[in-house]
Amino acid sequence: MKLIAPDIIHDILEALDRQIGAHGGVPLRLVVCGGTALSALGLVMRTTRDMDVLGSVSETENGVTIQSIKKFPEWLTEAAERVGRDFDLPEKWLNLGPASQVESGLPDGFEKRLVKKVYGQYLTIYFISRIDQIHFKLYASVDQDGYHVQDLLALKPTEYEMEMAAKWVVTQDVSEVFRSLLKDFLEMHNYGDTAKRI
Amino acid sequence: MEIPLKEFKERFFDTLIEIHWRQWTALGVASHVAPEKTWTVDLEPLIISTLIIGLHDKRLLSSSIEWLTKNGEWINLSRLKRIVKVFSERMPELKAPTLYPEILELFIDTYNRSARYKIKYPRMDSYNAKDNVMNEYKAFFSRFKVRNVTTAPKLQLPSMIQLLLRSIFGVDARTEILIYLLTHEGGNSNSIAKEIFYNQKNIYTILERWSHAQMVTRMSDQKILGYSLNRKKELLLAIGLKEMPNYLNWTKTFLLLDRLAKAISIPPWSDDEYLLSSLFRDSFNEGKSIGRLLHINIPDPTHHPGKQFFSPFALGVLGVLTKLKKGG
């Protein structure tokens, strides 16, 4: 079993596009966050276990809207399993792990900042932007150590970006305990001024 | 080493068709190629495989049908039905069988119009074959005419051992059991039935009779009762052969090759190296076991992610085909 390396993301998504066609699927627009989005946009080049799908996109004249997905359609699950087998990827490499975030609330202007990439006739991926990665990574870093913190710091957020992210993060968990943990985290990572302002 | 998809398709079909021509030529079809001398020819899988790939060479299909209409007494119908069942299984990824039952029905109708020995074949479930393919087959069968391009089979060729034995024993399981035992150390009724596509009980009964007649020896050291053939050399000499031709399970071999033929003919697989490589992975085990018999290495797919598996597998398959064309 292999992890998803930055240099094969394009191949994997092109393969998924072909398998969607072969499995009778229809054109699909997905929002992807996490390590895959970091690598695909060249922000942080690292391997990842999976591809986190946040939701689906509908694009109209008025812009982009994101819908939550409860479950992948069967043809997408089959197509993804096939790609997983062909690239020796971990089971459930394409998953809806962060999907509940669509209902919990996304940062302001999130949709406008998505970076669109077309992978063939069927699959279009909207990668979340660097600033939104900072939002999500800060949220994840507060109560989880490890690669989220490394990703966040690798993104080198400015004080201003970290403050924006922190202000959004406190709307996701309103408890005092969480606010306190957030402040501690910011202070520990040299964002003491930001910690004072939230 | 890489091979472009277009070149693979051309070489694959050219060689596969030539293998069919060589076998039909040995059976008595007039052609431009030398008759098969090295490999045993197995009539039932050859009929089915020719029907499947026949649209790629209509003269081959037409000549083979003509031969069958004149030599239908050689066909083992119950074995044909068993093998058809295997070829009619739906391939999950392509959502289609290797052989559409509708094509077999068209063949049987055409055959029965001209043949001395008529075939009674039960109607089979329809798969709703694609219209354009079926229309091509319908057009072909409606225009079929006997052109007098066939003769009786050349039984003196070693490759014709199946028909030679059928001429001695009759058209039943005994021929294939004997070929199996001539080419293997031994076997039990179950393993033989799987290899030659007959009913296991029938094979067991025959083997037990042969055991009483001391034609075979029971191999009691095995967990399952096995049998080995006695006096192989004398038997071969008695039927006029100095040695056995090379044996290959043609049902399994044609099934693999015909599935690949189908895959490289149907969009979107036909024009996509990644999708084909994905299907190739499904056929790896079958390809590997046939490759092993022919000393052709079929590379392990785990070393070739995504479409990188296309060329190694395609080259392995071409190696198999070349070996089948040239002889062992």
Query: Half-sphere exposure of A34 toward its Cβ, with a 13 Å CA cutoff?
Result: 22
Residues B224, B189 share a domain: yes
Please, which residues have CB within 8 angstroms of residue A158's CB and are 6 or more apart in sequence?
none
User: What's the domain range around B211?
Assistant: 158-238
Residues B96, B32 share a domain: yes
Which residues in chain B are contacts of A12 at CB distance < 8 A?
306
Residues B143, B207 share a domain: no
Residue B268 contacts A, CB cutoff 8 Å = yes
Looking at the DSSP bridge assignments, the partners of residue A33 are: A52
Which residues in chain B are contacts of A18 at CB distance < 8 A?
268, 272, 274-275
- Among the candidates B238, B266, B290, a domain finishes at B238
Surface-to-core class of residue A156, CB atoms within 10 Å of its CB (0-12 exposed, 13-18 middle, 19+ buried): exposed
CA distance B284 to B298: 8
- Among the candidates B238, B262, B279, a domain finishes at B238
DSSP letter, residue A115: E
pLDDT digits (tens, 9 = 90+) for B125-136: 776 666 688 899
Looking at the DSSP bridge assignments, the partners of residue B246 are: B39
| B254 and B50 Cβ atoms separated by less than 8 Å | no
pLDDT attached to residue A145: 75
Q: Is the pLDDT of residue B124 over 80?
A: no
Please, which residues have CB within 8 angstroms of residue B21's CB and are 6 or more apart in sequence?
B29, B31, B32, B33, B57, B60
Helical residues (DSSP H) of chain B, grouped into ranges: 5-27, 43-53, 58-71, 77-87, 101-114, 131-142, 161-169, 173-183, 189-196, 200-212, 232-238, 250-263, 273-282, 284-293, 310-326
Residues B145, B179 share a domain: no
CA distance B252 to B283: 11
- Number of structural domains (chain B) is 2
Residues B315, B196 share a domain: no
Please, which residues have CB within 8 angstroms of residue A127's CB and are 6 or more apart in sequence?
A31, A32, A33, A36, A37, A40, A41, A114, A115, A117
Angle, helices B58-71 vs B43-53, to 10°: value is 140
Query: What chain A residue is nearest to B269 in terms of C-alpha separation?
Result: A22
Residues B131, B25 share a domain: yes
| A119 and A163 Cβ atoms separated by less than 8 Å | no
ipTM of the complex: 0.90
User: Between A21, A22, A86, which is nearest B306 by CB?
Assistant: A86
Percent of chain A with pLDDT over 70: 100
Query: Where are the domains positioned within chain A?
Result: 6-128, 131-197
Which residue type is seen at B53? Answer: I
Which residues in chain A are contacts of B274 at CB distance < 8 A?
14-15, 18, 86
pLDDT digits (tens, 9 = 90+) for B18-77: 999 999 999 999 999 999 999 999 999 999 999 999 999 999 999 999 999 999 999 999
pLDDT digits (tens, 9 = 90+) for B261-277: 999 999 999 999 999 99
Interface with B, mutate which of A7, A18, A20, A93 (most B CBs under 10 A):
A18
Q: What's the CATH number where B210 sits?
A: 1.10.10.10
CA distance B15 to B37: 16
- Among the candidates B238, B264, B282, a domain finishes at B238
Residues B173, B63 share a domain: no
Looking at the DSSP bridge assignments, the partners of residue B228 are: B217
Which residues in chain B are contacts of A15 at CB distance < 8 A?
274, 278, 306-307
Please, which residues have CB within 8 angstroms of residue B167's CB and are 6 or more apart in sequence?
B155
Residues B287, B312 share a domain: yes
Task: Give the pLDDT of chain A (198 residues) as one tens digit per residue.
Answer: 789 999 999 999 999 999 999 999 999 999 999 999 999 999 999 999 999 999 999 998 888 999 999 999 999 999 999 999 999 999 999 999 999 999 999 999 999 999 999 999 999 999 999 999 999 999 999 978 789 999 999 999 999 999 999 999 999 999 999 999 999 999 999 999 999 998
Q: Model's pTM, two decimal places? A: 0.91
pLDDT digits (tens, 9 = 90+) for A135-186: 999 999 997 878 999 999 999 999 999 999 999 999 999 999 999 999 999 9
Surface-to-core class of residue B220, CB atoms within 10 Å of its CB (0-12 exposed, 13-18 middle, 19+ buried): exposed
Surface-to-core class of residue B170, CB atoms within 10 Å of its CB (0-12 exposed, 13-18 middle, 19+ buried): exposed
Residues B281, B219 share a domain: no
Mean pLDDT of B297-310: 96
CA dihedral B18, B24, B26, B31 (to 10 degrees): -70
User: Between A8, A18, A85, which is nearest B274 by CB?
Assistant: A18
| A81 and A23 Cβ atoms separated by less than 8 Å | no
Residues B60, B85 share a domain: yes
pLDDT attached to residue B120: 85
The CB density around residue B276, as the number of other CB atoms within 10 Å, is 24
Q: Is A33 helix (H, G, I), strand (E, B) or coil?
A: strand
Residues B136, B36 share a domain: yes
Distance to chain A for B275, nearest Cα, Å: 7
| B250 and B179 Cβ atoms separated by less than 8 Å | no
